[in-house]
Amino acid sequence: MTSEVTPMPQIAQLQVSPEISHAFDLAFLEAEKFRGQTNPNPPVGAAALDAQGAVLGVNAHRFSGESHAEAGLIENLKKLGKAELVDTVVITLEPCNHFGRTPPCSEALIRDLPRLKRVFYAQPDPNQKVSGGGPGRLRQSGIQCELVASPAIQRRGLELIAAFWVKTQLGRPLITVKTVHRGNYTKESLERLAAELPSPEFENSMIPPEGQATFGDRAQLEQAHLLRRRADLILTGSGTVLADQPSFTVRYVDDFKDKKRKIWVLDRRDRVRHQLPEYFDLAAKRGFEVLKVESEFDYSLPSVFGYLSRLSQNDSKFMEVLVEAGPRLTKAILLSGFYDLHVVMACCDPNEKNKPLSQTAITAFTLFNEKTFGFAQS
């Protein structure tokens, strides 16, 4: 499979051992399973290794208020009688050192893992008030604790907590734009397409063939539904709703049981209400809270995203907006710069249609908006 969660920057030569890199992989995969369910907390994964580099256990934070990834990992290892074997722990986010709804993980690592020598983490905590506390406490007690020396793993760590990072640093929700393109693209040709925006090819390749609402294969649909699953609001345009009447529900992967989502259709001429009067009632029946704004609302993109920021400020669990729109609205948003992540996907070879995700090759990557994250793309 050529799909990946984040782009591998050219500067990223792995400077960590294959064992540590593999342990991070497992921690990321575990954390991804709960991404969007842990709000207002970030998703976090952790893995423990013995002195030979063998993985002893993997765990992730699941719900806010429940145990942190490291605390749950330690509990599991204690139950299995393996706590004494732990030499190294890798965590996708730096370990905490404060009492919140759960006790500090740094203390649990020191107290319950008697042979622990090294802790590596993929991202510092974006909350300046607590950042550095956990690593400092571990170092004080003689345990090496460092940001992992791999830009690729660090970037994957940032992508995992992007919603938490944006909410903490900027006080607004993460805006993720998803675009799916028709055609047999390689990663390089798809990257070129995304970089050349706006191009007629970028827009045309987003339109499904006559008579179809989507053109993705199973693998691409699963990826798209994972993005939907973690979103708190789906933002779309009237063109998409009128063309496809999409349900925007999570179907190709298991949904989170109690996750509530909003939907907002940008529709300056109110065409959906007139041409598809039942659409919003059906969306409400599917569990969406349908956003309605007053008729004199100014639909300029600064107003739209200002409104979303205010909603997020009043709701700690509202952390990510997924833009699932057609080429008109998507292009306007990408060109305006009011977005943080752009997830670009292309379908796989038609011969691979309907194979499970693990067996198919789709091309998918995430581009970071430099304006938000303040670093060069590669």
Ligand X SMILES: NC(=O)c1ccc[n+]([C@@H]2O[C@H](COP(=O)([O-])OP(=O)(O)OC[C@H]3O[C@@H](n4cnc5c(N)ncnc54)[C@H](OP(=O)(O)O)[C@@H]3O)[C@@H](O)[C@H]2O)c1
Binding site for ligand X (CB under 6 A): 179-180, 206-208, 213, 236-240, 243-244, 266-269, 271, 299, 301, 324-330, 332
Closest separation in Å from C-beta 238 to ligand X: 5
Q: Tell me the C-alpha to C-alpha distance, in Å, between residue 209 and each of 119, 181, 182, 242, 244.
A: 51, 12, 9, 16, 12
Check if 203 is active-site: no
Of residues 50 and 267, the one with the C-beta less far from ligand X: 267
Closest separation in Å from C-beta 193 to ligand X: 12
Closest separation in Å from C-beta 225 to ligand X: 13
**Calpha distance 374→378 (Å, rounded):** 12
Closest separation in Å from C-beta 3 to ligand X: 16
- Which one of the listed residues 30, 70, 94, 222 is annotated catalytic? 70
Sign of the Cα pseudo-torsion (222, 223, 224, 230, in order): positive
Of residues 146 and 196, the one with the C-beta less far from ligand X: 196
C-beta atoms surrounding 72 within 10 Å: 20
DSSP string, 150-217: -HHHHHHHHHHTHHHHHHHHHSS-EEEEEEEE-S---HHHHHHHHHT-S-HHHHHTTSPPTT-S----
Of residues 273 and 328, the one with the C-beta less far from ligand X: 328
Closest separation in Å from C-beta 228 to ligand X: 12
**Pair 7, 365: CB distance under 8 Å:** yes
**Pair 213, 180: CB distance under 8 Å:** no
**Residues 45-65, buried b or exposed e (16+ Cβ, 10 A)?**
bbbbbbeeeeebbbbbbbebe
**Calpha distance 93→45 (Å, rounded):** 8
Of residues 28 and 248, the one with the C-beta less far from ligand X: 248
Of residues 188 and 210, the one with the C-beta less far from ligand X: 210
Closest separation in Å from C-beta 365 to ligand X: 15
Q: In the sheet that 55-60 helps form, which strands lie side by side, from edge to edge? A: 55-60, 45-49, 88-91, 118-121, 144-147
Length of the chain in terms of residues written? 378
**Calpha distance 137→132 (Å, rounded):** 9
Of residues 140 and 336, the one with the C-beta less far from ligand X: 336
**Calpha distance 20→26 (Å, rounded):** 10
**Pair 71, 108: CB distance under 8 Å:** yes
Of residues 243 and 284, the one with the C-beta less far from ligand X: 243
Closest separation in Å from C-beta 254 to ligand X: 23
**Calpha distance 289→287 (Å, rounded):** 7
**Calpha distance 91→53 (Å, rounded):** 15
**Pair 229, 39: CB distance under 8 Å:** no
User: Annotated catalytic sites, by residue?
Assistant: 70
